[in-house]
Amino acid sequence: MRDNNDNKLLEGRYRSLLQNSSDAISVLDEHGRIIFESSQKNRITEFEKNELIGHPIFEIVHPEDKDDVIDTFNYVMDNPNIEIKKEYRSLHKNKRWIYVESIFLNKLDNKDISGIVVNSRDISERKRAELKERVYHNNLIFLSNSALDLLGLSDKDDIYKYIATRLHEYLENSIIIVCSYNESKKSFTIEKTSGFGRIKSVLFARTRKMEYEIEFPIIEEINNEIFTGRLITLNPGEFEEWPLLGFSLEDFNFFKEKVEINKIYNISLARHNKILGNVTIITTHKSIIKFKHIIETFLHQVSVALHRSHLEGELINAKERAEESDKLKSAFLANMSHEIRTPMNGILGFAELLKDENISPGNRKKYIEIIDNNGKMLINLIDDIIDFSKIEAGQVKIIKKDFSLNSLLQQVHSSFLTENLINNKSKVKLRMRKSLSNDSCYINSDPNRLRQILTNLVGNAFKFTDDGYIEFGYRIVDSVMIEFYVKDSGIGIAQEKIDQIFNRFIQADSSSTRKYGGSGLGLAISRGFVEILGGKMWAESEEGKGSTFYFTAPYKPVKGAEEEINKPTKKKQYNWNNKKILIAEDDKFSFKFLEGFLRQTNVNVIHAENGKRAVDLCSEDQEIDLVLMDIQMPEMNGYEATALIKQTKKELPIIAQTANAIIEEREKCFEAGCDDFVTKPVNIQELYSKIDKYLTKKG
């Protein structure tokens, strides 16, 4: 009796324990059907006992987990008394899925139980935390991997591709469109897409363009609010068209029919307030707003990589430019050294030969001519270098005056005719075309610079033409510009070189075996002058047929008499036997040179070896009729000496000797009070003619 009572007590306690346990305990038969529930209402799923009894437990298991649970059940069936733990999703009475952890135990052989015991508890809370943890972890991995990957990418195309594939992997069911930005055109170009699937070819076929050909402009009112570098949700309905992607409304509607659009998001790629590109994300299912920060951070990393790629590109360009310019400079130096050495060798070599007293007068004359020619070549080269440096330094002065354009052309023509005779280029005909009459051809411009440009172009034409013709001239374009041209039937220039030859140091043929000499500066100087004068210079050419060089200058017609522009001088005999000339010259040889020539006119020559001495002599000697003043002298230079002399002897003519290249120097001479100038090396006929002008005036 006592035992019976004890058993009842125990049974009651067990029942009460079972009913109050927080776990749900069910017993299944060998088919998995529920045959016992520990409480009236399942503690976890909250289904009533009678709703469960007789139903297989698998009915309330999530379809994706069902196979797993069946496997576990079968295993337990085969292995009595072994506990197996299983996590799965189970249906809750309120139609949600909850996470459950069940321990399955086969107690079929226990006659009190005779079934499979399933002890279950709700682990949804833990699962949710785990899931959150996993998302967090995945995001971290996504960002850190991207950061590493992007470090290794420097090519822009690779970066665009990376954005498209990576975002598509990260955001399932989304379409990604990556665009680059063109700063100067203010437009975007689609660079890469992903997620379009089969619709892509149909869509792009409709636009009749490849994706990378689709270019669309920034639309201020829309884009301004979009380019914040933040993820922005766009409502597709809000837009008349799909301006961000350059598709027409029709294309967009077509697209909408094919793909169920959930949302469109946009995020600009920007760095330091500069737009670098744009990414559009179209989702077909879920919102991606919960990944907003991750997407923003990812695209921020991308922007940094794009910016870096841009900087790297600039660096590489700068490096290449530096290398190119280095190469050019070396070529220039080699060339220059050749150009200087050739005439130098000529001068030194023939000077050496002249030392031999036994050479015939004929040979002596020939040697002197060679030295003379080589000296002129050197002077020209030095002039070029000085001119070029001045252009580079922005120190070219333009001295404009009124003059006859036709006379200027005539001078260039005459000087080349003479030179041709000397250089044996008589096979080449030189023609000149003037489009204005001699009366109406007066203009205001810088005649010296224009002459220099024309001389250079005609000189080049002769250099590169062995027979045929050279023609030069001008025409007036639209009454505002003069267009000069120099045309030749020479060797021509290869198309790919035409633009380059205007760059300094560039020659169409830069090989060491080239046939034609030159510094490669002439055209750079000419173009420099043309631009300073307000015009343009260009060339047209066909290899083997010839070239035409053009340049323009503003056309400013003037009325009035022509100012003298260095009229050519004729050989004439002079006799100034009753005159006295003071030569102020510190260089002994230059003095001897001038003295030698002046003596031939029977003039009386006296010498001052510096500026100060010249001033003294002028005040001591009242018979001096004219002074030839060198500019660069020790103690007192030519400008100062001239100014001092002119203070007391305003009427005494002073002719300065200046360096040929420096036009500004001539202007300075006039400012100091000089009456005229001759350029060094002195052209004796020109000097005679100038001296004569003053001596006869005075006398």
Residues lying near ligand ADP in the complex (CB under 6 A) are found at 460-461, 464, 488, 490-493, 501, 507-509, 518-524, 547
Q: Which residues contact 365 (CB under 8 A, 6 or more apart)?
A: none
Instruction: Give strand pairing partners of 283.
Output: 174, 263
Q: Which is nearer to ligand ADP, 363 or 380 (CB)?
A: 380
SS (H, E, C) 393-450: CCCCCCCCEEEEHHHHHHHHHHHHHHHHHHHCCCCEEEEEECCCCHHHCEEEECHHHH
- Least distance from C-beta 515 to ligand ADP, angstroms? 10
For ligand ADP, give the closer residue by CB, 522 or 653.
Answer: 522
Per-residue b or e along 326-345, where b marks 16 or more CB atoms closer than 10 Å to that residue's CB = eebeebbeebbeebbeebee
Q: Which 8-state DSSP code applies to residue 205?
A: H
Name the minimum Å distance from CB 554 to ligand ADP: 24
Q: How far is the CB of 482 from ligand ADP (least distance, A)?
A: 20
Q: Which of 575, 573, 496 is nearest to 541 (CA)?
A: 496
What is the nearest approach in angstroms of ligand ADP to the Cβ of residue 385?
Answer: 11
- CB closer to ligand ADP out of 461 and 628: 461
CB of 417 to ligand ADP, least distance (A): 18
Nearer to ligand ADP, 416 or 591 (CB): 416
DSSP 675: S
Kindly report the number of other CB atoms within 10 A of residue 72's CB atom: 17
Q: How far is the CB of 500 from ligand ADP (least distance, A)?
A: 9
Which stretch of DSSP H or E encloses residue 133?
helix 124-151
Nearer to ligand ADP, 524 or 584 (CB): 524
The minimum distance between CB 491 and ligand ADP, in angstroms, equals 5
Least spacing, CB of residue 565 vs ligand ADP, in Å: 24
Given the complex with ligand ADP, which of 302 and 461 has the nearer CB atom? Answer: 461
Cβ contacts of residue 251 below 8 Å, gap of 6+? 203, 206, 207, 242
Q: Which is nearer to ligand ADP, 403 or 550 (CB)?
A: 550
Q: Which residue, 181 or 464, has its beta carbon nearer to ligand ADP?
A: 464
SS3 657: strand
**N residues, the chain:** 699
Contact between residue 473 and residue 409 where contact means Cβ atoms under 8 Å apart: yes
Nearer to ligand ADP, 450 or 523 (CB): 523
* Locus of tokens 């522009």: 565
Q: Give the gyration radius of the chain's Cα atoms.
A: 49
Beta bridge partners of 281: 176, 265
Query: Closest CB to ligand ADP among 369 and 543?
Result: 543
Beta bridge partners of 586: none
CA distances from 205 to 120, 200, 409 (A): 58, 8, 62
Q: Which residue, 332 or 474, is less far from ligand ADP as judged by CB?
A: 332
DSSP string covering 321-382:
HHHHHHHHHHHHHHHHHHHHHHHHHHHHHHHHHHT-TTS-HHHHHHHHHHHHHHHHHHHHHH
Minimum gap (Å) between residue 533 Cβ and ligand ADP = 18
CB 209 within 8 A of CB 237: no
Q: How far apart are CA 136 and CA 301, in angstroms?
A: 18
Cβ distance to ligand ADP smaller for residue 192 or 463: 463
Question: From CA 50, how far away is CA 569, in angstroms rounded?
Answer: 133
**Least distance (Å) from ligand ADP to the CB of residue 341?**
16
Q: Which is nearer to ligand ADP, 488 or 675 (CB)?
A: 488
The distance of closest approach from Cβ of residue 380 to ligand ADP in the complex, given in angstroms and rounded to an integer, is 10
In whole angstroms, the minimum distance from the beta carbon of 337 to ligand ADP comes to: 14
- CA within 13 Å, CB half, 592: 3
- End-to-end alpha-carbon separation of the chain, Å? 172
Cβ within 8 Å of residue 503, ≥6 positions away:
524
Write down the least CB distance from residue 547 to ligand ADP, Å: 4
